Amino acid sequence: MFTLAILSHHQQIDVANFSLNAEQMGLPKELPIQISQSCLVGGKQAGSRIITLTVGETTVRIVPTRAMAVLDAVRNGVRFGWQSPVKEIVHPNFINQEASGGSGWLDGFNEMVVRCGYQWAGHPGQDGDEFLTLHGRIQNTPADEVMLEVEQIPPYRVTLRGRVDEKRFKSTNFEVETCLSLSIDEPYLTIEDILTNKGSYDREYQAIYHNNFAQPILEKGALLHVPVKELSPFNDYAAQGLEDWNKIPAPTKDFDEMVFNVRPISDENQLSSALLHNANATSGIEVTYQTDTLPVLTIWKNTDTEQQGYVIGIEPGTSFAYNRRYQRKLGLVPTIQAGETKRFMVRFGLLTDEHQVSASKAHIDALQARQACQLSTRPLVSLDA
């Protein structure tokens, strides 16, 4: 195993810019494996870093400075991710999450995989005595103990770990061990995060994996396939689009966003999958997740203009995107006990041919065949004025 400590307080290591090829990592010289890190400059990205992993046909970019977010992935020429109007990889120091009614988080929102949580996730607003900012604090927290591991035998699995803390005296004492891995022989990118409550008291927590996808997969005629137990619109506006919830329109001025709440069907291993594929079903993104810890799915249909960030979110979570105050009665604000760990697994299938797409669709159809889909026309929650 080749290992490299990229950033570590304990080891006093901070590697900054580097680039390693297969040979330099003790791998067969001709293997298409390349790892590098780049320190960004200019504007609000000063201090941000990008780690690029090329493993076989897949290149994935990770932002350790923003909680090990996945910026994007490219496989066989197909890009997975989106084009946010926010172009910079904004360093957390330039984000004030309290700004503008708790929506400052949006100043840096542009990655493919964005973690929301873990003290809370969801929309900003008051929850009892607490004011919650949009989607929690984790995404604007830089990682420590960023470690690379490359297996030196087939399938040459490459693993990137990083720890992200969410701590405040007398409050949350969470540590998140993030782990992203991929290997040379498969179209998968796997995220396995372990949340630990290091405090002496049980705490509420929430997690949403805000996974975002756009062109070239997203286009007029693209389709979502989700094995649905129950589906309901997030609010009255989404209710108007309920019938077409899984059909993708062209970029549409004034569409803004429609959000759908899904309780998915999962298999005997507690796995469920959602698929978005392009109009002719030749490429797609499959999001597979463990429903024991991520029991619900948010579909965020933000098919406004390209400049506004034409994008679909496929977001497994402990919770929907409502403010936390609405979700206790839905049973979607779980507790993590003192010393307990919670494991979140999300696997991304980067599908770049029609066989992969149709296999994924068949798998989802089989899940749906187990149970009828219930569509509710009314939001689960009556939002305050």
> What is the contact surface with its own copies in residues (CB under 8 A)?
7-9, 12-14, 38, 40-47, 84-88, 92-94, 96-101, 103-104, 106-107, 109-110, 129-131, 133, 141-146, 163-165, 167-171, 173, 198-201, 253, 256, 304-305, 307-309, 338
Question: Residue 165's closest CA among 143, 149, 140, 150?
Answer: 143
Cβ nearer to its own copies, comparing 12 with 269: 12
- Least separation in angstroms between residue 380's CB and its own copies is 23
Cβ nearer to its own copies, comparing 147 with 367: 147
Cβ nearer to its own copies, comparing 72 with 107: 107
Cβ nearer to its own copies, comparing 110 with 206: 110
- What is d(CA 284, CA 262) in angstroms, rounded to the nearest whole number? 20
Handedness of CA 303, 308, 312, 313 (dihedral sign): negative
Cβ nearer to its own copies, comparing 10 with 355: 10
- Least separation in angstroms between residue 207's CB and its own copies is 19
- What is d(CA 6, CA 38) in angstroms, rounded to the nearest whole number? 12
- Least separation in angstroms between residue 34's CB and its own copies is 18
The alpha carbons of the chain give a radius of gyration, in whole angstroms, of 20
* 75-to-173, 203, 356 alpha-carbon distances in Å: 38, 40, 13
Cβ nearer to its own copies, comparing 6 with 158: 6
Residue 126 near residue 136, CB atoms below 8 Å: no
What's phi and psi for 76, nearest 5 deg? Answer: 50, 40
- What is d(CA 136, CA 207) in angstroms, rounded to the nearest whole number? 9
- Least separation in angstroms between residue 345's CB and its own copies is 24
Name 346's bridge partners: 191, 289
In this structure, the dihedral spanned by the alpha carbons of residues 173, 296, 68 and 184, taken in order and rounded to 10 degrees, is 140
- Least separation in angstroms between residue 215's CB and its own copies is 16
- Least separation in angstroms between residue 209's CB and its own copies is 18
Residue 178 near residue 159, CB atoms below 8 Å: no
- Least separation in angstroms between residue 40's CB and its own copies is 6
- Least separation in angstroms between residue 167's CB and its own copies is 5
- Least separation in angstroms between residue 320's CB and its own copies is 19
- What is d(CA 345, CA 292) in angstroms, rounded to the nearest whole number? 10
Residue 235 DSSP class: S
- The pair of structure tokens assigned to 163 is 């720890």
What's phi and psi for 95, nearest 5 deg? Answer: -105, 125
Cβ nearer to its own copies, comparing 1 with 338: 338
Cβ nearer to its own copies, comparing 69 with 189: 69
Question: Residue 213's closest CA among 129, 132, 314, 350?
Answer: 314
Specify the pairing of strand 374-375 against strand 228-233: parallel
- What is d(CA 287, CA 209) in angstroms, rounded to the nearest whole number? 10
Cβ nearer to its own copies, comparing 309 with 349: 309
